[in-house]
Amino acid sequence: MSSIKICATCGTHYPPQRPFDICPICDDDRQYLPPGGQIWTTPEALAGSHSVKSHRLHDYIYELEIAPSFAIGQRAFFILSGEGNILWDCIPLLDDPIKAFIREHGGLRAIAFSHPHYYSNMNDWADAFGCPVYIHRSDEHWIFNKGPHVELWDGEEKQLWEGMRLINLGGHFPGSSILHVPSLSPEGTVFCGDTMVISPSNKHIAIQYSYPNRMPLPGHEVERISARLENIPFDTLYSFYKHLTITKDVRMILKSSMERYGVSFSDGCR
Ligand SMILES: [Zn+2]
Ligand SMILES: [Zn+2]
């Protein structure tokens, strides 16, 4: 029986040496505590009632999620690449079938994160696959269980392999980042966590400080992020939740979304 505690609202795993009464991630103004207050669970309880499902979204992309839905219902992406697979973000459960599935597909060369709402049980995944975990240094103080595989990166970009790169855009968190994969679609594919969030209509893209608490970013921050996005080529966007994916007209949608913030956006990437 492990003595790890899991916050049932966000899925973050806390080791016994960090015995919080209230989850600091949920206590932050970007998140929330449930109406009845903090709920904790354990890895054993979670493994007994939930499992991990994978769905193929593309020849080289699998979406991973916990069923039934747990915590904030986040999804992770297992992205296949000839020079090594990558896990983009994490879900708070790693069970034996998904471990076997990932191994059958060549394992993981790295895990990379958009931001702290996904850190969950990252050490379990990194230990299982013996791979580094890339996290932007600006969010280091949100890592409550820093395992030996965590590698902090600095600056605006981190080059990976096959032209893939991590890009720090900030906004939601100072370290909020996206993964750009040029080979998955003609103009490139972006995995954004909730650095940007696609609305349920799939016709709007929001950039906010907090999504559940509907807290905006200052206008100059939206303008800054929008200007960065103008120079990143992509035609496909995968966001936080299941079905929040845009594969058509993404730059037109981004342009109309930025205009709602009063920010101009060139829909042709330079
Ligand atoms: Zn929490
Ligand atoms: Zn978030």
Average pLDDT over the chain, rounded to whole?
96
Residue 174 above 90 pLDDT?
yes
Q: What is the mean pLDDT of residues 15-32?
A: 95
Residue 1 above 70 pLDDT?
no
Distance of alpha carbon 25 from alpha carbon 145, whole angstroms: 13
Q: Which two tokens stand for residue 135?
A: 């996290």
- Quote the pLDDT of residue 242: 87
Helix 250-260 / helix 219-230 crossing angle, nearest 10 deg = 160
Gap from CA of 269 to ligand 2 centroid (Å): 27
Residue 2 above 80 pLDDT?
no
Gap from CA of 33 to ligand 1 centroid (Å): 7
Gap from CA of 184 to ligand 1 centroid (Å): 33
Q: What is the mean pLDDT of residues 10-21?
A: 93
Which listed ligand is nearest to 73 at the C-alpha?
Answer: 2
Residue 268 above 90 pLDDT?
no
Distance of alpha carbon 206 from alpha carbon 54, whole angstroms: 27
Gap from CA of 240 to ligand 1 centroid (Å): 17
Distance of alpha carbon 179 from alpha carbon 165, whole angstroms: 6
Which listed ligand is nearest to 34 at the C-alpha?
Answer: 1
- Band the pLDDT of 175: cuts 50, 70, 90: very high
Gap from CA of 199 to ligand 1 centroid (Å): 23
Gap from CA of 10 to ligand 1 centroid (Å): 4
Q: What is the mean pLDDT of residues 32-46?
A: 96
Gap from CA of 9 to ligand 1 centroid (Å): 5
Gap from CA of 104 to ligand 2 centroid (Å): 31
Which listed ligand is nearest to 8 at the C-alpha?
Answer: 1
Residue 212 above 80 pLDDT?
yes
Gap from CA of 209 to ligand 2 centroid (Å): 9
- Quote the pLDDT of residue 18: 86
Q: What is the mean pLDDT of residues 240-248?
A: 92
- Quote the pLDDT of residue 8: 96
Gap from CA of 22 to ligand 1 centroid (Å): 8
- Quote the pLDDT of residue 243: 87
Q: Facing residues of 158 across strands?
A: 166
Q: Which domains does the chain have, with CATH numbers?
A: 5-260 (3.60.15.10)
Three-state secondary structure of the chain: CCCCEEECCCCCEECCCCCCCCCHHHHCCCCCCCCCCCCEECHHHHHHHCEEEEEEEECCEEEEEEECCCCCCCCEEEECCCCCCEEECCCCCCCHHHHHHHHHCCCCCEEECCCHHHCCCHHHHHHHHCCCEEEEHHHHHHCCCCCCCEEEECCCEEECCCCCEEEECCCCCCCCEEEEEHHHCCCCEEECCCCCEECCCCCCEECEEECCCCEECCHHHHHHHHHHHHCCCCCEEECCCCCCEECCCHHHHHHHHHHHCCCCCCCCCC
What is the value of pTM for the model shown?
0.96
Which listed ligand is nearest to 241 at the C-alpha?
Answer: 2
Q: Which two tokens stand for residue 251?
A: 């730059």
- Quote the pLDDT of residue 269: 54
Distance of alpha carbon 93 from alpha carbon 260, whole angstroms: 38
Q: What pLDDT digit, counting tens, does each position of 45-89 carry? A: 999 999 999 999 999 999 999 999 999 989 999 999 999 999 999
Q: Measure CA 141 to chain center.
A: 17
Gap from CA of 213 to ligand 1 centroid (Å): 15
